Amino acid sequence: MTDTYTTTLVTGQTLAITTRADFGETIMAALLLSLLVVLVLSFIWRVTHGRHR
């Protein structure tokens, strides 16, 4: 989970530097944030779903 988070941050920073635009950075931040939320929710879902079984 930590590796995925670090990779996402590094990728986001690299893309933000490449874009060099406020609008682009805002879009990337929103996409990365939503991606992290999905990853966290899926991770929690797997843990809780596995425990119920």
Per residue in 25-47, pLDDT (tens digit) is 788 788 999 999 999 999 999 99
Q: How far apart are CA 35 and CA 20, in angstroms?
A: 21
- The answer to whether residues 53 and 37 touch, using CB atoms and an 8 Å cutoff, is no
At 36 the pLDDT is 93
pTM (predicted TM-score): 0.46
Terminal C-alpha separation, the chain: 22
